[in-house]
Structure 1
Amino acid sequence: MKRRSERIRDALRTQLWPVPAIAVVLSVGLGIFLPRLDAAVDDSLPPAVTALLFGGGPEAARSVLEAISGSLITVTSLTFSLTVVTLQLASSQFSPRLLRTFTRDRFVHFTLALFLATFVFALTVLRSVRTQQDEDGPFVPEISVTVSFVLSLASVMGLVLFLAHLTREIRVETMMRNVHEETKVTIDRIFPAGAPPQPQEPQPGPGSIPITSASSGFLTSIDEQALLQAARETGTVVRIDREPGSSLIEGVPFARAWKPGSGRALNTEEAAELGKRVNEAVATGFERTNVQDVAFGFRQLVDVAARALSPGINDPTTAIHVLGHLSSLLCCLVDRNPGPRMMTDNDDGGRVRVVLALPGVEELLDLAVSQPRLYGAKDPTVAARLIELLREVAWCDKHRRYRAAVARQLEQLRSAIEAASLEEKERIRLIQAADETAALLAN
């Protein structure tokens, strides 16, 4: 249930419409209620309060409300246009996978909500203004018109702040910081600090069966408790072979199940029921999310680096900044216990019932280094930053668990530097830096 609620909250956060829609509904309700309150208390308000309220007649009230509603719908259209342009720029200039960082921006949500709420409130209050020609006599909802005026002032300030916010958010440094922070939150959730080492992973028995996917898409999240309950009730061990973020294809196996110790295979009915329950515990979608997908943040950052190193953009400084963020995230991981997670049945002596495939440091290190090495080895500054990244990861690996993986990446980087068309002076300097890092790994 916890994972499901996280998935629902993430889906709502990445949509532009929920907050503005709620604001529209509330503003309609307020636009109906407040004029009635006006009619009930207008004659009993003290002069000090009345002096602060709208003091014009019905025609003036109508003009003010019409001006507010007309101008706010124009401002809202402008805001939507600027947001769409920003999304296009982020997609083409940096990476299409960065769009989630904009669509989940709460400042954008609340700015649009303010504009739409002001427009709808003014339009709703306009219905209650009566002139001399109306049957019930003239009526000016002074409090309501004053609230509309205050909301319009707030909208003007909101537009100014939105423009300032947009110019800040469109900077690549801000986008990288946002991705870094989101990925760090995911790391803390999936690989918490201080978590004990995982027990030994059980191996499939002779009667193991494959479990095929019931739908196609990216594996976005797993309901771990539902999976554990299914394995416990059927007396099986379930191993999910695909990591969150992997692509699942309907009808293709993505998990295995077996009865530990007995060697007996599940019959057809048992296998069908277990496969159904496993698929119900797995959520798929047509885009990756960072709810349980640790590698997604790495993928976003690497995409920015690869795009920056493309000949059309040629921005190695951005790639170097990306490598700094990747190094920080990797150094955070080496002190934890990333990799497959074993879920045990405490009612059965701590027997492992579920094995979840999760990325380890080796996979994430390869993801962080491979493409920047491929595209950036010919740039001395990028190559030097890659060597420094490997040195930083090795330095933070106090228990020396990942030295072999770092050494492999260093050797591949050294080969790429030797094959690149660099000036001899730069090549010697980079090879010397690689040798110094190799010496650190050997100590």
Structure 2
Amino acid sequence: MLEKALLHLGRIARQLWFRVVLISLFSLLLLLLAPLAKPLLPNGLSEDFGREAVLPVLTILASGMLAVTTFSLNVMVSAYRTAASMATPRVYRLLLEDTITHRVLATFVGGFIYSLSAVILFRARYYSPEGALVVFGLTIIVVILIVGAIVRWIDHLSSLGSMDHTLRLIEDRTRASLRARIKKPCLGGVCALEDSKPEDAVDIPAAKSGFVRFAGLAQLDELAAEAGTQITLALAPGEYILRGQPVAWATAGDNKFCKAASAAIDIGDVRSFDQDPSFGLSLLAETAQKALSPGVNDPGTAVEVMGRLERLLWENTPADKVSDAREATYPNVNVPPVTAPQLLACAFPPIARCGSDAPSVMRWMEKSLVALGEHPNPEMAEAAKGLRQELQDGRWD
């Protein structure tokens, strides 16, 4: 349960509202605790830098930050919609996790909450002259943070919503997911090199229909150890399943055990990067397909996408074949590995089907497959050579 709770906490932390609420609560806490700093202040300053000095600044901040925040939100939504229309609609969820945008907007909203709350507290006579001096110092710090955020926002707006920024986000997130799979090819479980149902196994049905997004191997391993059984995942994260279909199998187990095991596997309406490295490759391929559509007709973007795909597959594919010889962190759970041919199949075939009429695209694809045919991983090299042969034979048309 801890593993799944941490997963949901991580997803919440990547949402915009989380940082906004966090910094707003922090600013309110500072304002409420400001009077406690009275013993640390030098004498005589409260007359020059007190209530009358800080209130006009706070009023300007309260009105200005509201306008800046509203404008920035409109710009953000517009840029994200533009990026989703140029690339693929599924990239919108990734753009919403942009940490730079989160920090900037959280600073703006936090500055608004801080200034408005400070004005209210001043009108309520909450602060003594010494407390007003502390608020003056805090306000200077807030102004510096806001100016820095504005400069950072201006720089970020130069690329926000552009194709380059969108592709870079997808590539970075995909690289992180691929590298996580290099460290744990089977998520820490035993590699299930055969995808067939074990003999005399008990079905663990899916609780609902959707994409397998996360398998809590720690919880599954604990359940299997207590029941003296072995669990095998029927589907890897990223695959689609219908309610009632087997999402996993167990060598033994009653109905209660099957329900607990099924609850440890997260199924949702949309795919996730958490344990699915092929998702990012699919997003890049979809972007290239969109660029090759008759309405867009941008083969240059498709070529750039293939360059990124080639780089990702070359640098982030294990040099050796996946085997079951590696020591498993969760020995009671068998997990189907993500193989090099599976990754390659998510990348180039979709582009080839849409780019057969673009000579520059097909030439670059052949070059990429020739390069990947020299990959140290024999599975990747063999799959690249096979796809290149299919391309030459015209079997992707």
1:84 maps to 2:67:
no
Change (3 A) 1:138 1:37: closer
Match of 2:284 among 301, 304, 312: 301
Bigger-Rg structure (1/2): 1
TM-score normalised to structure 2 length: 0.86
Question: Pick from 109, 113, 122: which aligns with 1:116?
Answer: 109
Whole-angstrom CA distance in 2 between matches of 1:246 and 1:308: 26
- Secondary structure of 1:401 counterpart: helix
Q: How does 1:89-168 map to 2 (within 5 A)?
A: 89-129=82-122, 141-168=132-159
Q: Match of 2:379, SS?
A: coil
Instruction: Give the aligned residue type for 1:91.
Output: A
Residue equivalent to 2:243: 250
Task: Indicate the SS of the match to 1:414.
Answer: helix
Which residue of 1 is the match for residue 319 of structure 2?
335
Give the total of aligned pairs: 394
SS of the equivalent of 1:229 reads helix
The letter of the residue matching 2:43 is L
CA contact (8 A) 1:240 1:357 kept: yes
Match of 2:11 in 1: 11
CA distance in structure 2 between the partners assigned to 1:147 and 1:76 by the alignment: 21
Deviation, structure 1 residue 140: 8.0
- The change in CA–CA distance for 1:11 and 1:340 in structure 2 (over 3 A counts) is farther
8 Å CA contact 2:182, 2:318 repeated in 1:
no
Worse-superposed segment, 227-236 or 76-85: 227-236
Find out whether 1:221 has 2:229 as its counterpart. no
1:355 pairs, out of 334, 347, 363, with 334
Match of 2:369 among 385, 390, 406: 390
Mapping of residues 158-307 of structure 1, within 5 Å:
158-192=149-183, 201=194, 204-258=197-251, 266=252, 270-307=253-290
Taking a change above 3 Å as real, the CA distance of residues 54 and 109 of structure 1, as seen in their structure-2 partners, is farther
Measured in 2, the distance between the counterparts of 1:154 and 1:326 equals 38
Retained in 2: the 8 A contact 1:310–1:375? yes
Q: Matched residue of 1:328: which SS?
A: helix
Do 1:220 and 1:293's aligned partners in 2 also have CA atoms closer than 8 Å? yes
Q: Which amino acid letter does the alignment assign opposite residue 361 of structure 1?
A: A
- Say what the alpha-carbon RMSD is for the aligned residues: 3.5
In structure 2, the residue matched to 1:430 is: none
Residue 392 of structure 2, aligned match among 411, 414, 420: 414
- Measured in 1, the distance between the counterparts of 2:134 and 2:247 equals 62
Distance change in 2, residues 1:178/1:336 (3 Å): farther
1:215–1:249 Cα contact (<8 Å) kept: yes
Provide the C-alpha distance between the structure 2 equivalents of 1:9 and 1:32, rounded to a whole number of angstroms. 28
CA distance in 2 between partners of 1:6 and 1:392 (Å) = 40
How far apart are the structure 1 equivalents of 2:47 and 2:80? Answer: 41
Q: Deviations over 1:313-357 (max 9, x none)?
A: 2111111111111112222315144589998699xxxxx743212
Indicate how the Cα distance of structure 1 residues 245 and 340 shifts in structure 2: closer, same or farther if over 3 A, else same: farther
- Deviation (angstroms), 1:118: 1.6
Name the CA distance, whole Å, in 2 between partners of 1:153 and 1:125. 17
After TM superposition, give the deviation of residue 7 of structure 1 in Å.
2.0
How many angstroms does 1:62 deviate by?
3.1
Q: Distance in 1 between matches of 2:329 and 2:134?
A: 63
Letter in 1 for 2:354: Y
Post-superposition CA distance 1:245-279 (Å, at most 9, x none)? 11232222222233xxxxxxx5xxx3313311321
Question: Does the residue aligned with 1:141 lie in a helix, a strand or coil?
Answer: helix
CA contact (8 A) 2:224 2:230 kept: yes
The match for 1:435 is none
Structure 2 residue 370 is the aligned partner of structure 1 residue 372: no
Task: State which drifts further: 142-151 or 216-225.
Answer: 142-151
Task: Tell me what 1:261 maps to.
Answer: none
CA apart distance, 1:199: 7.8
* Distance across 2 between alignment mates of 1:276 and 1:401: 37
- CA deviations on 1:121-161 (whole Å, 9 max, x unpaired) are 22222234369xx8999888133134324423431331232
**What is the deviation of 1:34?**
1.7
1:307: how far off?
1.1
What is the TM-score of this pair, normalised by structure 1?
0.78
Give the C-alpha shift of residue 415 in structure 1.
3.4
Deviates more, 1:383-392 or 1:221-230: 221-230
Q: Secondary structure at the match of 1:359?
A: coil
Contact 2:241 2:247 in 1 (8 A): yes
Secondary structure class of the residue paired with 2:71:
helix
SS state of the match for residue 243, structure 2?
coil
Are the aligned partners of 2:373 and 2:384 in contact in 1 as well (CA < 8 Å)? yes
**Which structure is richer in relative contact order (CA contacts within 8 A, separation 6 or more)?**
2
